[in-house]
Structures are given as C-alpha cells and as structure tokens.
Amino acid sequence: MSSTLRTILDKIASTSQRHGTNGAVRLVAVSKTKPPELIRAAYDAGQQHFGENYVQELVEKANHPLLCDLDIRWHFVGHLQRNKAKLLASVPHLWMVETIDTPKLATSLNSSWSNLALPQKLKVMVQVNTSGEESKHGCPPEGTVELTNHILQSCPQLDFTGLMTIGRLSHDYSQGPNPDFELMHQLKLKIVDQLGLLEEKVELSMGMSADFEEAIAAGSTNVRVGSTIFGTRTYN
Ligand SMILES: *Cc1c(COP(=O)(O)O)cnc(C)c1O
C-alpha cells in the first residue's frame, strides 16, 4: 500500500513540476467497494483524502470504528440525488462534494448544510458532462456559467471550488490531447471571465488511474485514483 501510494505521489509531483501546477495537486484515493481496513492502511501510509460514490456506503465507512476518529477528508464523487442531500451532509468529516449538476441540487445541499449550523462552508464542485455521453451525469458544458453563478449567488453555505468531469474513459493520447480536458480548461477560463473569479482559485478535478498524469499536464489540481491504489473492483 505505502509503496503504491509513494509511486503515485512521485508521479503527481514530477508531472506537476513539469507543468507548473507545482505540487498543488491533490490525490483523492477513490475507495468505493473497498473495505475500511484498506482505507485505514492507506491513511496510516499518509493518505488523507478519500472519495466515495454511494451515499449509503460513505455513511457506513465514515462512521466505521476503524475510520470515524481519523482526520480523513471525504470527497463525494458519485451521482447525488436530491433526496439524499440531507443524509450526505450529515456524514462526519465530509470535505467536498464534487458532483453538483443542477441548481436544485445545490439549493438542497445548501439548506441541508445550513441546518447543521457548522462554522465552515461545504466545498463543492460543479460536475460537467464534457463528453455528452448519456450514461454520464453532469451539467451540459453550456450550463456551467449559470450553475456556478447560482452557487455563488444563492448558496451562501457552499464554497465553490472548481469544476469536475469524468469524461470519456478511453482516450488515445497518440491521437492528441484529451478533448474533455481541453474543454474543462476552456470552461474554467469562461467562468473566470464571466463571473469575475480568480483563475488560481478555480480547481479542476479530472484524471483517474489511467490518465491522471495527462490530466495534470492539462491543468488538473485534483486527481481521483481508485484501482491503481486499491486494486481492481469487483461488484456483486
Ligand atoms: C471510480 C471512480 C474513480 C476512480 O477510477 P479508477 O479508474 O479506479 O482510478 C474516479 N472518479 C470517479 C467519479 C469514480 O467513480
């Protein structure tokens, strides 16, 4: 576990140095379907950020005796239904929700978070369906400015942090740069310009096991790596 993590962190560091992001790239270890024991081993090896896709699974893990007292920073990276916003907000050590894709969902999460009366805002990202595939969630690229603006203007308990995409799962890099990553860069420039944001304050969450180095080269500051850390997943 610790040598796998070390290898990935080394690759992240060298890629981010080469591309000017300079160490400011966060590794989120995506632990969906993996048991608390493996998450604990990664935490003990120094990993702090973990990502989960299903609300119920995250609730169980965040409250698990092996994990509940640790200083873990949980990222929710799965599709969120509005009727689960309240349950998700109640998760201890929830640090970021990366998958806001409608104004209504943002509003629900804002009010759930506000009911908890915590001192800190909840960090969120806008998920964009950059590939336009029907199987993918996310707001359409042309809705990014409006949804971001809704969060900034109408959701005072949410801290807008950046944009997230899953994108096409297999891009052949010998054919050129990944169009999903390029589109994300354009969308970032667009919201910076149209909403008056600081460019260095807008993060991009993109890149998984297969392509996190290419994603960093394209401007990612938050890579989500699962199977390379924890092994391939089996679903029942
Ligand atoms: C599962 C998942 C990942 C990790 O994928 P790997 O290919 O196993 O690294 C990253 N992001 C999201 C949104 C996921 O659902």
Model pLDDT for residues 137-168, shown as the tens digit of each residue: 999 999 999 999 999 999 999 999 999 999 88
Separation CA 101–CA 126 (nearest Å): 6
pLDDT score of 227 more than 70: yes
Which CATH number characterizes residue 158's domain?
Answer: 3.20.20.10
Structural domain of 7: 2-167+176-229
Contact 136/178 with Cβ under 8 angstroms?
A: no
- Is 224 a pocket residue for ligand 1 (Cβ < 6 Å)? yes
Q: What does pTM read for this prediction?
A: 0.97
Contact 113/157 with Cβ under 8 angstroms?
A: yes
Q: Which atom of ligand 1 is nearest to the CA of 166?
A: 13
Count of domains in the chain? 1
Three-state secondary-structure class, residue 85:
helix
**How far, in Å, is the centroid of ligand 1 from the Cα of 208?**
6
**236 located within any domain:** no
| Residue 164, beta-bridge partner list | 127, 205
- Which of these, 229, 235, 232, 236, lies nearest to 30 by C-alpha position? 229
**How far, in Å, is the centroid of ligand 1 from the Cα of 235?**
14
**How far, in Å, is the centroid of ligand 1 from the Cα of 115?**
31
**122 located within any domain:** yes
pLDDT value at position 23? 59
Three-state secondary-structure class, residue 177:
coil
- Is 125 a pocket residue for ligand 1 (Cβ < 6 Å)? no
Q: Which pair of tokens denotes residue 120?
A: 């800190």
**How far, in Å, is the centroid of ligand 1 from the Cα of 170?**
13
**83 located within any domain:** yes
**235 located within any domain:** no
The residue whose two tokens read 């969308």 is 187
pLDDT score of 100 more than 70: yes
**234 located within any domain:** no
**118 located within any domain:** yes
Contact 88/76 with Cβ under 8 angstroms?
A: yes
What is the phi/psi pair of residue 225, to 5°? -115, 120
Q: Which pair of tokens denotes residue 161?
A: 């942090």
- Is 32 a pocket residue for ligand 1 (Cβ < 6 Å)? yes
